[in-house]
């Protein structure tokens, strides 16, 4: 059967207002991921009522949302005759990497993740505009690493601080003595001082306020450093890790020091950790498992020089003492083999006994659109982290073949380019010979055919599909690909494509 070669999606789509809008800039818009039949409470505010943009997807009853069917819709708040978007709801989004629905247009890099009260909270930057990051911080939360929620900006430099509207880099959240704290810094400027600041909130998601600089107890001076991350030990002693601002990029190094107050460090305890690790670039992060400290950081691909600064490896070292010495243990996960990825940062954190690594990658070759991803990790008998590969399916066994599969989740790429101008949500542009693959897909063994959606599919002269290296189907771009010899189970699915012109692939669908 001939398939339509223009973009076709199989879920309902609503054209959301952009995250940055002249009338509503997104600072207070909530975002909910839900499963069918899920319910989610809405804030009860006197004089406010809510309505859904599509009751076939999500139904509002009083101050509660009930998910009805797969798709996207908006929840509007009505107050005194006025209407504004209160929330964006996505129902039935399958577990995958990146984790957030593409319709949210939300790109959160530099994730530090913490477990507060059995719920995970992600503190990150927000990629937007033609730059790394933006003047806003975002936070996310999840109870199961499947369904995510956000409540808009957790902090904006336009609201508070000493440099209004300046871009914000890396942040980290912390809980201590009844307060939630956010540590951050402004965009790094070579050759200048870059001070770390602290904010606070009664809510782990923010909004954060009460801006103040981090200072030294002995000198009283502001701390010149980037990528501040806070760690609290079993004895409740708190530490801060950061990278003192270097005059040259190859001079970056990580330090750790004791915190004596929320925004004050004991300068006599500042310890350089660089002798224990390899090719440090940025983003020091510390966790503890049992009696072992795990120091995680962004590692450069080779020695850092003015012409080689490519932190694409998330690596770690271990120690039995918080100040070291540490032993370098290698890479947890790397994006160095993925086309179009700019860098990597991340952290590790447990939930309900399972540990995860959180990181970012650029799925559409857009260096300034880095998206949150997550993988399960495990440890060997010696307590070392078993390295993992970037996956399309994230914490799921594999992508669900009953739902659309997006080409920008692919992690196996050869001779293909990836960009945001493919269809509605980005994807793969292929020319000549290309390989594009997904790690992993959960095959039921009952799938009969694959249909590709995109533009220019008539230019594809041949497609060969393999599952774990075995050919399961062949065809041309504009035709359904008939499948045979399928085996049930987890599969690395790879498309080998030949073409005599450009083709843009957005989604595929199993039937």
The answer to whether residue 205 scores a pLDDT higher than 60 is yes
The sign of the dihedral angle between the CA atoms of 117, 137, 132, 264 is negative
Predicted local confidence at residue 190, as pLDDT: 67
pLDDT in tens, 117-138: 999 999 999 998 788 899 999 9
Query: pLDDT tier at 250 (50, 70, 90 boundaries)?
Result: low
Residue 305's H or E segment, with its range, is none
Range scoring the smallest mean pLDDT among 91-95, 183-187, 244-248, 476-480: 244-248
DSSP string computed for 165-181: T--EEEEEEEEETTEEE
pLDDT in tens, 294-321: 999 999 999 888 888 889 999 999 999 9
Predicted local confidence at residue 49, as pLDDT: 95
pLDDT in tens, 105-115: 999 999 999 99
Domain map of the chain by residue range?
A: 1-93, 176-359+372-377, 399-510
Average pLDDT of the residues in 440-454:
96
322 φ, ψ (degrees, to nearest 5): -60, -30
Find, among 166, 136, 170, the residue nearest to 28 by Cα: 136
For domain 399-510, give the CATH superfamily: Galactose-binding domain-like (2.60.120.260)
**Could you tell me the two tokens for 27?**
């600072």
Predicted local confidence at residue 94, as pLDDT: 97
Fold of 176-359+372-377: Tachylectin-2; Chain A (2.115.10)
* CA separation for the pair 30, 84 (Å, rounded): 12
* CA separation for the pair 77, 86 (Å, rounded): 6
The answer to whether residue 448 scores a pLDDT higher than 70 is yes
The answer to whether residue 455 scores a pLDDT higher than 80 is yes
pTM, 2 dp: 0.93
CATH assignment of 1-93? 2.60.40
Average pLDDT over the chain reads 90
Predicted local confidence at residue 21, as pLDDT: 38
For residue 449, count other CB atoms closer than 10 A to its CB: 15
356 φ, ψ (degrees, to nearest 5): -135, 150
For residue 354, count other CB atoms closer than 10 A to its CB: 12
């Amino acid at each position: 059967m001939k398939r339509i070669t223009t973009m076709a999606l199989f879920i309902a789509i609503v054209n959301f207002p952009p995250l940055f809008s002249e009338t509503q800039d997104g600072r207070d818009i909530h975002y909910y991921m839900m499963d069918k039949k899920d319910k989610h409470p809405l804030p009860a505010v006197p004089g406010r009522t809510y309505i859904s943009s599509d009751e076939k997807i999500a139904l509002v009853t009083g101050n509660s949302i009930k998910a009805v069917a797969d798709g996207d819709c908006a929840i509007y708040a009505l107050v005194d005759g006025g209407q504004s978007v209160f929330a964006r709801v996505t129902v039935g989004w399958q577990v995958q990497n990146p984790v957030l629905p593409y319709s949210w247009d939300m790109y959160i890099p530099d994730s530090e993740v913490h477990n507060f009260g059995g719920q995970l909270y992600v503190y990150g930057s927000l990629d937007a505009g033609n730059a790394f990051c933006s003047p806003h911080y975002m936070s996310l939360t999840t109870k199961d690493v499947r369904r995510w929620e956000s409540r808009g900006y957790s902090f904006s430099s336009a609201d508070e601080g000493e440099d209004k509207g300046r871009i914000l880099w890396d942040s980290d959240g912390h809980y201590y003595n009844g307060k939630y704290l956010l540590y951050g810094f402004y965009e790094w400027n070579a050759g200048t001082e870059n001070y770390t600041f602290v904010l606070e909130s009664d809510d782990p998601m923010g909004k954060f306020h009460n801006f103040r600089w981090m200072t030294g107890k002995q000198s009283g001076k502001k701390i010149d450093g980037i990528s501040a991350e806070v760690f609290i030990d079993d004895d409740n002693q708190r530490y801060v890790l950061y990278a003192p601002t270097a005059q040259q990029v190859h001079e970056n190094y990580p330090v750790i020091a004791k915190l004596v107050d929320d925004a004050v460090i004991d300068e006599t305890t500042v310890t350089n950790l660089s002798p224990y690790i390899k090719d440090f670039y940025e983003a020091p992060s510390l966790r503890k498992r049992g009696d072992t400290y795990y120091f995680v950081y962004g590692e450069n691909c080779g020695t850092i020089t003015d012409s080689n600064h490519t932190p694409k490896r998330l690596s770690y070292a271990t120690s039995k003492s918080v100040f070291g010495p540490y032993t370098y243990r290698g890479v947890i996960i790397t994006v160095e083999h993925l086309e179009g990825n700019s860098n990597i940062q991340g952290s590790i954190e447990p939930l309900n006994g399972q540990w995860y690594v959180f990181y970012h990658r650029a799925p559409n070759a857009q260096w300034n659109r880095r998206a949150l991803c997550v993988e399960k990790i495990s440890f060997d008998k010696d307590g070392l982290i078993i390295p993992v590969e970037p996956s399309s399916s994230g914490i799921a066994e594999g992508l669900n073949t009953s739902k659309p599969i997006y080409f920008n989740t692919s992690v196996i790429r050869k001779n293909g380019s990836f960009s945001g101008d493919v269809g509605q949500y980005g994807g793969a542009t292929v020319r000549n010979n290309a390989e594009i693959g997904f790690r992993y897909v959960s095959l039921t063994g009952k799938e009969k055919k694959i249909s590709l959606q995109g533009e220019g599919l008539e230019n594809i002269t041949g497609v060969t599909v393999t599952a774990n290296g075995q050919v399961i189907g062949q065809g041309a771009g504009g035709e359904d690909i008939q499948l045979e010899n399928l085996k049930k189970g987890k599969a690395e699915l790879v498309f080998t494509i030949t073409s005599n012109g450009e083709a843009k692939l957005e989604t595929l669908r199993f039937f």
